[in-house]
Amino acid sequence: MRSSRRSRRSAFENLEARRLFAAHIVGSTVSYSTIQAAVNAASAGATINVDAGTYNETVTINKSLTLRGAEAGVDARNSRGSETIVYATKTVIDIQTNDVTIDGFTIEGNDSDIGAQLGAGVLMEPSIHGTHVLNNIIQNNVTGIYLSNNSNTDMCVIQHNIIQDNFEANNYWTKTPGENGSREIYTDGTVSGDYLTNVLIDSNIISNKNNYNGGDEDEGLIALQALGANKQFNIAITNNTMSYGSKALLATNVTNLVFMGNTITNFNDGSSGPVRFEGNDNVVDIQYNTIDNNAGPGIAADSSGVAGDSSGFVVNNNNIYSNDGIGVLTIASVYNGPLIAVGDWWGSASGPSGDGPGTGQAVWANGNSGHGVHPTGAAGGTVTFSPWATALINIASIPVAATPSNLAASATSTSQIQLSWTAPMSTAVDQLIQRSTDGVNFTTIATVPALLTSYSDTNLSGGTKYYYRIIASNFTGNSAPSGVASATTGGSVGGGSVALSSLNWSSATTGYGSVQKNQSVAGNTLTLNGVGYATGIGTHAASTIVYNLAGQYTNFASDAGIDSEEDGRGTGEVDFKVIGDGKTLFDSGVLTNDQVAHINVSVAGVQTLQLVATNGISNNIDYDHADWAGATLSSSATSVPSAPTGVAAAALSASSIKISWAATSGAASYSLDRSTDGASFTTVATGITATSYTDGSLGSNTTYYYRIRAVNSAGSSGNSSVVN
**Model confidence pLDDT, tens digit, residues 305-316:** 888 889 999 999
In whole angstroms, what is the distance from residue 715 CA to residue 494 CA? 14
In whole angstroms, what is the distance from residue 222 CA to residue 186 CA? 6
In whole angstroms, what is the distance from residue 130 CA to residue 153 CA? 9
Q: What is the mean pLDDT of the chain?
A: 86
**Cβ within 8 Å of residue 539, ≥6 positions away:** 508, 510, 515, 516, 521, 545, 613, 626, 627, 628
Q: In what order do the strands lie in the sheet with 583-591?
A: 507-509, 543-548, 608-615, 574-580, 583-591
How would residue 624 be classed by pLDDT, with cut points 50, 70 and 90?
A: confident
Instruction: Please give the share of the chain, as a percent, with pLDDT higher than 90.
Output: 53
> Residue 135: which region, alpha, beta or left (left: phi > 0; alpha: psi -120 to 50)?
left
pLDDT for res 450:
94
Q: Classify residue 367 by burial, with Cβ atoms within 10 Å: 0-12, 13-18, 19+.
A: buried
405-488 placed in CATH 2.60.40.10: yes
pLDDT for res 716:
74
Q: What is 497-634's CATH number? A: 2.60.120.1060
pLDDT for res 377:
75
- 543, β-bridge pairs: 613
Q: Which residues of 120-159 are buried (b: 16+ CB within 10 A; e: fewer)?
A: bbbbbbbbbbbbbbbbbbbbbbbbbbbbbbbbbbbbbbbb
Say if residue 321's pLDDT is above 70: yes
pLDDT digits (tens, 9 = 90+) for 501-510: 888 898 999 9
Say if residue 636's pLDDT is above 70: no
- Report field, pTM of the whole predicted structure over 0.75: no
Q: Report the largest interatomic distance among the alpha carbons of the chain, rounded to a whole angstrom.
A: 78
Of 713 and 450, which is predicted with more confidence? 450
From 38, 99, 96, 25, select the one nearest 62 (Cα to Cα). 96
In whole angstroms, what is the distance from residue 417 CA to residue 466 CA? 9
Of 2 and 184, which is predicted with more confidence? 184
pLDDT digits (tens, 9 = 90+) for 656-684: 899 998 988 778 788 888 888 777 778 88
What are the backbone angles phi and psi of residue 5, rounded to the nearest 5°? -75, -30
- 560, β-bridge pairs: 597, 628
pLDDT for res 702:
81
pLDDT for res 17:
45
Tell me the mean pLDDT in the region 109-126: 71
Say if residue 380's pLDDT is above 80: no
pLDDT for res 614:
93
From 341, 243, 335, select the one nearest 286 (Cα to Cα). 341
pLDDT for res 331:
82
Q: Is the peptide bond before 352 cis (omega within 30 degrees of 0)?
A: no
From 558, 489, 485, 498, select the one nearest 526 (Cα to Cα). 558
Of 1.20.210.10, 2.60.40.10, 3.30.1490.20, 3.20.20.140, which CATH number belongs to 648-716?
2.60.40.10
From 213, 218, 285, 275, select the one nearest 242 (Cα to Cα). 275
Say if residue 560's pLDDT is above 50: yes
Tell me the mean pLDDT in the region 704-724: 81
Same fold, 405-488 and 648-716: yes
pLDDT digits (tens, 9 = 90+) for 272-295: 889 999 999 999 999 999 999 998
**Cβ within 8 Å of residue 318, ≥6 positions away:** 286, 287, 288, 289, 290, 291, 344, 345, 393, 395
Instruction: Return the domain boundaries, the chain.
Output: 1-205+214-243, 269-395, 405-488, 497-634, 648-716
Ranking 337-351, 487-501, 701-715 by mean pLDDT, the lowest is: 487-501
Of 243 and 20, which is predicted with more confidence? 243
Q: Which CATH superfamily is domain 1-205+214-243 in?
A: Single-stranded right-handed beta-helix, Pectin lyase-like (2.160.20.10)
**Quick one: CA dihedral 585, 589, 593, 596, positive or negative?**
negative
In whole angstroms, what is the distance from residue 301 CA to residue 311 CA? 10
pLDDT for res 675:
82
* DSSP secondary structure string for all residues of 614-627: EESSTT--TT-EEE
